[in-house]
Chains A and B, each alone.
Chain A
Amino acid sequence: MSAARDRIFGRVRAAVHGRKRTDHPGDFLGWRPASSVTDAVAGFTEMFTAAGGEVVRLASMGLASTWLRDFAAGFTGVALGASLPDDFVPDFSLAQPESAELGVSTAVGAVAETGSLVLDARDGRRVQLLPPTHVVLLRKEVVYPTLAEALEVVSRDPPSAVGLHSGPSKSADIGQILVKGVHGPGRVIALLVG
């Protein structure tokens, strides 16, 4: 290993040596601990909507597929995530994420505590980010009460990258005025099934 590494470690050890080593305080109890969340779906919906996201809830995959077909009719060019079930995907005019107006992908989880969708790199990152509108298929079973729980689940078989998306892209860098859709999608819809 490098000499720089050795010197840095030498200084860290010298600094830490002799200082009282303190224990880790244990698990973080969120603002809505798991025990207090009776309905994770309602919690997610409230938080995701408050952040500017939209939630469309449908009872079955068939109904969701029909909704998506009708919704996508308003867009030219749809980019699809790699994990969408084949029988779910209606007949779209497909496009690459770079040119598509609509991106459709699948969430591997969602978080009630923070209103976040958990997106997996195996689904494709560009489809999650480049099209101005993003529809995310989300099954009710993978909506977790707390962020800690979702992080634990996603760590079991982790991809190279996970994105937590909590609403549309936004910025207030121009005069503190909120603008949506700066780099990522300005509109994000969780298509919640179940």
Chain B
Amino acid sequence: MTRARPADYPQAAAATLRDTPEVRDAVTAATRTFDTHRRESWAQIDAERWRDWCRDVKDHVLTHLDDLLEQAEVRLVANGATVHWAEGAYDALATLGRIVDAEGVRRVVKAKSMLTEELGVNTFLEGRGVHVRETDLGEYIIQLLGEPPSHIVGPAIHRSVDDCRRLFHRHFGTPLDATPEALAATARQALREEFLAADLGISGCNFLVAETGTLALIENEGNIRLSTSAPRVHVAFVGIEKILPRMVDLSGFLQITARGATGQPIGTYVSLIRGPRGEGESDGPEQVHVVLVDNGRTTLLADDVAWETLRCVRCGACLNICPVYRQTGGHPYGFTYSGPIGAILAPALLGLEEAMPLPFASSLCGACADVCPVRIPIPDLLLHWRARAVEAGLTPLGERVAMRAYAAAAERPGGFSGAGSLLRYVPWKRGGRALPVLGGWSAERDPPEISARPFHKLWREGIE
């Protein structure tokens, strides 16, 4: 399956539901499990206080990002790491290409990283004849299938056990009734060789501590620890928003990210990396390169409304609870980040026109805002991008006219109630297409019954 573009979302989502209904079952089951674990885990803590604290730290970071980035750079260099800056994917890949050439890299192991997906690292390296192997079990499965990840935390949740059995049977000749343990053992053996043979390990980064120049990476399998310590060169791609001020701040963020993602008190493995192998250390990389990536993040930071999106810790809680995401999983979104967070990141990182219609791929039920560990007001930001889309003329003409008429009427109380009364005379039942704004909506649904008496009249009279 090749990656769709956001513009294809309606067709891709419909095709997923029609052609592969088992994807909905798998994604719904997995996200329900994730969300149940999150809920149980949050019940053990004072979640509201934690969320306030995390939001406040991130707001502090984002309003002091210039100073903190400078501090992080100074510390990393003092630790012996090499710091690179990349404005976009092109720069980031060019930097990687220079390291690959200088070090004669032939084999790469990759730790799971959404930023490297965003940048297209695998395609770039394969194009240069470099062998690249994803080492997270879920990422490994989808790499063998030739698919992009469908979820921030669980990249292969759209695939069933039987899908994995068939895949491993084809690649390794394992029996078609192999247990998940047997499949994992097969992958462990194949990937162990990859770790030990690789020249270069590539990772992302969950948090970068400015005070000490420490990269923090969260995982459960051990592949990130191995990818960042077995090969002689480590390259970490880090979004510039990933900063935390102090080492002790990690205590809150490591815990809330794990509890938000899977309900665990902390990821099974956390790597805290300052730089290359030190004196007296028997292993670890000889070189650590940290590539600080903008790729649209400063555009988002400059947006007076949407900058709060940059608080995101990529836990996936908003995907897990989203009734729209659960229907299809991440592939139809046609963007690295899917679900509610993807719908508000895409307009900033891709440009609004390219991201359409993702801000509309939501029922605005608000569940995502209820679970976000850093309190990103996702529904408000979906509306923000929708309004921008209408202003920019990116929505269907009929809807724009209707919205403008609605806005004009709503500004005048008399006009609003007058317009509402007029709707009572629209021939709803005849084809249901009398209102252009509901054209797409009513094509597959019965139009609603319009109340005989408007709400504002009932309200004035006192609703019973």
Q: Which residues of A contact B (CB under 8 A)?
A: 1-2, 4-5, 7-9, 11-16, 19-25, 27-31, 47, 51, 82, 98, 113-116, 121-122, 124-126, 128-130, 146-148, 151-152, 154-155, 158-177, 179, 181-185
Known contacts A8-B87, A30-B251: does B181 contact A179 (CB below 8 Å)?
Answer: yes
Nearest A residue to B253 via CB reads A28
7 contacts between A and B (CB under 8 A): A15-B307, A28-B252, A121-B277, A124-B282, A158-B214, A173-B136, A182-B188
Nearest A residue to B300 via CB reads A15
User: Is A161 a contact partner of B196 (Cβ separation < 8 A)?
Assistant: no
Provide the residues of chain B in CB contact with A154, threshold 8 Å: 272
Sorted nearest first, the 7 A-B pairs with minimum C-beta distance are A184-B222, A175-B161, A173-B138, A28-B252, A11-B298, A183-B222, A15-B302
Nearest B residue to A6 via CB reads B85
Q: 12 additional contacts, CB 8 Å, given A19-B307, A171-B138?
A: A8-B85, A8-B240, A11-B301, A15-B298, A115-B265, A121-B278, A129-B226, A130-B226, A160-B284, A163-B225, A173-B138, A182-B187
Nearest B residue to A174 via CB reads B180
User: Is B59 a contact partner of A22 (Cβ separation < 8 A)?
Assistant: yes
Q: Which of A4, A129, A148, A174 contacts B85 (CB 8 A)?
A: A4
User: Is A122 a contact partner of B161 (Cβ separation < 8 A)?
Assistant: no
Q: Which parts of B201-259 form the interface with A (CB within 8 Å)? A: 212, 214, 220-223, 225-226, 228-230, 240, 245-252, 254-255
* Interface residues as binary, B153-164 with A (CB distance below 8 Å gives 1, 0 otherwise): 011110111101
User: Is A16 a contact partner of B33 (Cβ separation < 8 A)?
Assistant: no
Q: How far is the CA of A147 from the CA of B298 in the complex (A)?
A: 32
Provide the residues of chain B in CB contact with A176, threshold 8 Å: 29-30, 33, 154, 157
User: Is A169 a contact partner of B57 (Cβ separation < 8 A)?
Assistant: no
Q: Which parts of B175-194 form the interface with A (CB within 8 Å)? A: 180-181, 183-185, 187-188, 191-192
Provide the residues of chain A in CB contact with B292, threshold 8 Å: 8
User: Is A28 a contact partner of B251 (Cβ separation < 8 A)?
Assistant: yes
Known contacts A25-B57, A148-B251: does B269 contact A165 (CB below 8 Å)?
Answer: yes
Question: B86: CB under 8 A from chain A?
Answer: yes
User: Is A14 a contact partner of B160 (Cβ separation < 8 A)?
Assistant: no
Q: How far is the CA of A117 from the CA of B234 in the complex (A)?
A: 24
Nearest B residue to A126 via CB reads B283
Nearest A residue to B183 via CB reads A174
Question: B280: CB under 8 A from chain A?
Answer: yes
Provide the residues of chain B in CB contact with A47, threshold 8 Å: 265
Nearest A residue to B81 via CB reads A160
Nearest B residue to A125 via CB reads B229
User: Is B302 a contact partner of A11 (Cβ separation < 8 A)?
Assistant: yes
Question: B20: CB under 8 A from chain A?
Answer: no
User: Is A177 a contact partner of B180 (Cβ separation < 8 A)?
Assistant: yes
Q: How far is the CA of A23 from the CA of B58 in the complex (A)?
A: 10
Q: How far is the CA of A122 from the CA of B168 in the complex (A)?
A: 38
The segment out of B62-70, B331-339, B389-397 that lies at the interface is B62-70
Interchain nearest-CB distance for B26 vs A (Å): 8
User: Is B69 a contact partner of A21 (Cβ separation < 8 A)?
Assistant: no
Question: B327: CB under 8 A from chain A?
Answer: no
Known contacts A16-B301, A31-B46: does B60 contact A23 (CB below 8 Å)?
Answer: yes
Question: B143: CB under 8 A from chain A?
Answer: no
Provide the residues of chain A in CB contact with B281, threshold 8 Å: 121-122, 124, 159-160
User: Is B85 a contact partner of A5 (Cβ separation < 8 A)?
Assistant: yes
Provide the residues of chain B in CB contact with A16, threshold 8 Å: 62-66, 301
Q: Which residues of B contact A (CB under 8 A)?
A: 26, 29-30, 33, 44-46, 49-50, 52-53, 56-57, 59-60, 62-66, 69-70, 79-80, 84-87, 91, 135-138, 141, 154-157, 159-162, 164, 180-181, 183-185, 187-188, 191-192, 195-196, 212, 214, 220-223, 225-226, 228-230, 240, 245-252, 254-255, 264-278, 280-284, 292, 294, 298-299, 301-302, 304, 307
Provide the residues of chain A in CB contact with B91, threshold 8 Å: 4
The A interface, classified by DSSP as helix, strand, loop or mixed, is loop
Q: How far is the CA of A179 from the CA of B138 in the complex (A)?
A: 12
Provide the residues of chain A in CB contact with B248, threshold 8 Å: 27-28, 148, 151-152
Provide the residues of chain B in CB contact with A22, threshold 8 Å: 56, 59-60, 63
Nearest B residue to A53 via CB reads B268
User: Is B275 a contact partner of A177 (Cβ separation < 8 A)?
Assistant: no
Provide the residues of chain B in CB contact with A98, threshold 8 Å: 196
User: Is A24 a contact partner of B271 (Cβ separation < 8 A)?
Assistant: no
Known contacts A16-B63, A158-B212, A160-B277: does B266 contact A173 (CB below 8 Å)?
Answer: no
Q: How far is the CA of A169 from the CA of B226 in the complex (A)?
A: 12
User: Is B268 a contact partner of A163 (Cβ separation < 8 A)?
Assistant: no
Q: How far is the CA of A168 from the CA of B267 in the complex (A)?
A: 11
Nearest A residue to B156 via CB reads A173
Q: Which of B65, B221, B273 contacts A171 (CB 8 A)?
A: B221
User: Is B164 a contact partner of A4 (Cβ separation < 8 A)?
Assistant: no
User: Is A160 a contact partner of B301 (Cβ separation < 8 A)?
Assistant: no
Interchain nearest-CB distance for A151 vs B (Å): 5
Interchain nearest-CB distance for A16 vs B (Å): 6
Interchain nearest-CB distance for A190 vs B (Å): 14
User: Is A155 a contact partner of B64 (Cβ separation < 8 A)?
Assistant: no
Interchain nearest-CB distance for B297 vs A (Å): 9
Provide the residues of chain B in CB contact with A172, threshold 8 Å: 154
Q: How far is the CA of A5 from the CA of B73 in the complex (A)?
A: 11
Q: Which of B49, B60, B294 contacts A29 (CB 8 A)?
A: B49
Provide the residues of chain A in CB contact with B276, threshold 8 Å: 160
